Amino acid sequence: MGRIDAAGISCHCKITMYDRSEVKERLRKALEFYRELGFEYLPVENAGAAGGRRTVEEARAGHIRKDGDEELKSLRAVIGDCRRCRLSEGRRNIVFGEGPPHAALMFIGEGPGRDEDIQGRPFVGDAGKLLTKLIAKMGMKREDVYIANIIKCRPPLNRNPQEDEIAACLPFVEKQIEIISPSVIVCLGKVSAHALLGTDIPISRLRGAFLQYRGIPVMPTFHPAYLLRNPRDKWLTWDDMQKVLEKMKGG
Give the pLDDT means over successive 10-residue stretches in the chain (251 positions). Answer: 40 41 61 56 40 37 63 97 97 98 97 98 98 98 98 96 98 98 98 98 98 98 98 98 96 68
Q: Where are the domains of the chain?
A: 62-248
Tell me what pLDDT residue 29 has. 60
Report helix, strand or coil for 231: helix
Q: Is 73 helix (H, G, I), strand (E, B) or coil?
A: helix
Longest dimension (CA), the chain: 59
Pick the CATH number of 62-248 from 3.40.50.620, 3.40.470.10, 3.90.226.10, 3.40.50.720: 3.40.470.10
How many other CB atoms are there within 10 angstroms of residue 3's CB atom? 12
C-alpha 126/C-alpha 44 separation (Å) is 43
Rounded to an integer, what distance in angstroms lies between the CA atom of residue 140 and that of residue 73? Answer: 25
Q: Given this model, what pLDDT does residue 156 score?
A: 96
β-pairing, 216-221 vs 146-149, is unpaired
pLDDT of residue 35: 59
Displacement of CA 152 from its chain's centroid (Å): 12
Note the pTM of the prediction, 2 decimals: 0.76
